[in-house]
Amino acid sequence: APIQAPDLRNCNPPDLPDTAPDVDCCLTYRAGTGAVDFELPAASSPLRVRRAAHLLDKECVAKYEEAVALMKELPDDDPRSFAQQWRVHCAYCDGAYDQVGFPDLQIQIHNCWLFYPWHRFYLYSHERILGKLIGDDRFALPFWNWDAPGGMSLPAIYANMSSPLYDERRNPAHQPPFTLDLNYNGTDQTIPRAQQIDQNLRIMYRQPDPGAGTIENVPHNPVHFWSGDPRQPNGEDMGNFYSAARDPLFFAHHGNVDRMWSVWSGLRPANAGGFTDPDWLDATFLFYDEEVRLGLVRVRDCLDTAALRYAYQDVALPWVGAKP
Ligand code: C2O
């Protein structure tokens, strides 16, 4: 049977690593606000075009910074606040909620086929909340274009210490222009940038199909690990599920993961529809939207990004020809 959305009234303390600080990942639940079925945005609403973070113009950076600053200023118990937004990720990955009717089964959206759709809806609601806060219905999140040479460093907009996009819990050795290693295992390779880029492109080439186990393992997990701070007990923030979304960089990383899902659907038309199993198509989750309505979303509603009214900037795919 498909996974059902959690009952937000029943939240358990999350399973965190022993050395993690005591954090609460339970979400604000506004009693009396039942969930409403998700509806696609109007087909006539403007298309939000997500752009590569390293190519973003000043005006777009300023808008994004303003939106995140406003989100961080909202009271912690507001479902749209940054404090709640990062907890959504923690709640769905660290066992805060059981599956309805199965108290021994915790909801976990990693390492399984819910990975792509869950993160797609997460970014979708996050993006629309940010846009609403600045009154811009074209606002779009940037993506970390780590599959192309120009994007193979931490995007500079996140490294500005006076920006709301900054997070101090990151690996200080991996500041731009240090080259990203898409297969990072905890040790930096001492090879020239050109060689690292070449390796990265070959890694991308070997990831032709989305699905549990491929892109989620590499490069999704290594990029988290590479970004997090090795001085923290669990690689916080990006290096651990519970804390990853405390870093705004998370949303750029997942923008590219989501973009890869779209790109692959296009490269292989046979992939376009994804799985047809109703256990996947009818799996449901809950997300607060920009109007602070609790929306019940189903996987089948997120398969078409045009219907969700967003798209990705068309940038080159240099790895498509990078045979290992
Ligand atoms: Cu939900 Cu990149 O992890």
- H/E element, 198: helix 193-205
**Smallest CA separation from ligand 1 atom 3, residue:** 241
The amino acid sitting at 145 is N
Residue 153 lies in a domain: yes
Look-up of token digits 């590219």? 256
Q: Cα(288)–Cα(125) distance, rounded to whole angstroms? A: 7
Looking at mean pLDDT, say which of 185-194, 201-210, 214-223 comes out highest.
Answer: 185-194
SS3 269: helix
In ligand 1, the atom with minimum distance to the C-alpha of 92 is 1
Average pLDDT over every residue of 237-242? 94
Q: Could you tell me if residue 92 is inside a domain?
A: yes
Kindly state whether residue 2 falls inside one of the protein's structural domains.
Answer: no
Host domain of residue 108: 36-321
**pLDDT recorded at residue 143:** 98
**DSSP-derived 3-state class of residue 130:** helix
Mean pLDDT throughout 261-265? 86
Ranges 24-33, 174-183, 255-264, most confident:
174-183
Q: Does a structural domain hold residue 13?
A: no
In a domain, 226, yes or no: yes
Between residues 66 and 218, the one the model is more confident about: 66
**Looking at the predicted complex, does its ipTM rise above 0.95?**
yes
Q: Please answer whether residues 295 and 35 qualify as being in contact, where contact means their C-beta atoms are separated by less than 8 angstroms.
A: yes
Could you tell me which of 113, 155, 109, 138 has the C-alpha nearest to residue 41?
Answer: 138
For residue 274, what pLDDT is reported? 64
Q: Which residues does ligand 1 sit against, CB inside 6 Å?
A: 89, 93, 110, 119, 220, 224, 244, 254
Helices then strands, each counted (H, E), the chain: 8, 7
Residue 8 lies in a domain: no
Domain count, the chain: 1
Peptide bond into 237 cis (omega under 30): yes
The pLDDT assigned to 92 comes to: 86
Band of pLDDT at residue 211, cut at 50, 70 and 90: very low
Q: Is residue 280 situated within a structural domain?
A: yes
30 domain residue, yes or no: no
Distances in whole angstroms, Cα of residue 99 to Cα of each of 1, 8, 29, 168:
11, 11, 17, 35
Q: Average model confidence (pLDDT) for the chain?
A: 90
Distance 239 CA to ligand 1 centre (A): 10
Active site residues: 89, 110, 119, 220, 224, 241, 254
Q: What percent of the chain has pLDDT over 90?
A: 68
β-partners of residue 312 are: 50
Give mean pLDDT, residues 285-300: 94
* 108, 95 contact by CB (below 8 A): yes
Q: What is the mean pLDDT of residues 156-177?
A: 98
pLDDT score, position 69: 98
Distance from residue 115's CA to the centre of ligand 1 (Å): 8
**pTM to 2 decimal places:** 0.94
Q: What is the pLDDT of residues 51-70, one digit of tens each?
A: 999 999 999 999 999 999 99
Contacts 24+ apart (CB under 8 A), 172-181: 172/229, 172/231, 174/226, 174/227, 177/153, 178/153, 178/154, 179/152, 179/153, 180/146, 180/152, 180/153, 180/154, 180/223, 180/226, 181/222, 181/226
Angle subtended at Cα 209 by Cα 205 and Cα 215, rounded to the nearest 5 degrees: 75
Residues 6+ apart with CB under 8 A from 95: 12, 14, 15, 106, 107, 108
CA 164 – ligand 1 centroid, Å: 21
Asked if pLDDT for residue 201 goes beyond 50, the answer is yes
**pLDDT recorded at residue 109:** 82
Q: How confident is the model at residue 243 (pLDDT cuts 50, 70, 90)?
A: very high
pLDDT band at 208 (very low <50, low <70, confident <90, very high): low
pLDDT for 72-112, tens place per residue? 999 999 999 999 999 999 988 877 888 887 777 788 888 77
CATH number at residue 244: 1.10.1280.10
Least confident among 8-22, 154-168, 305-319: 8-22
Of 233, 215, 252, 244, residue with least CA distance to 88: 244
Q: What is the pLDDT of residue 5?
A: 87
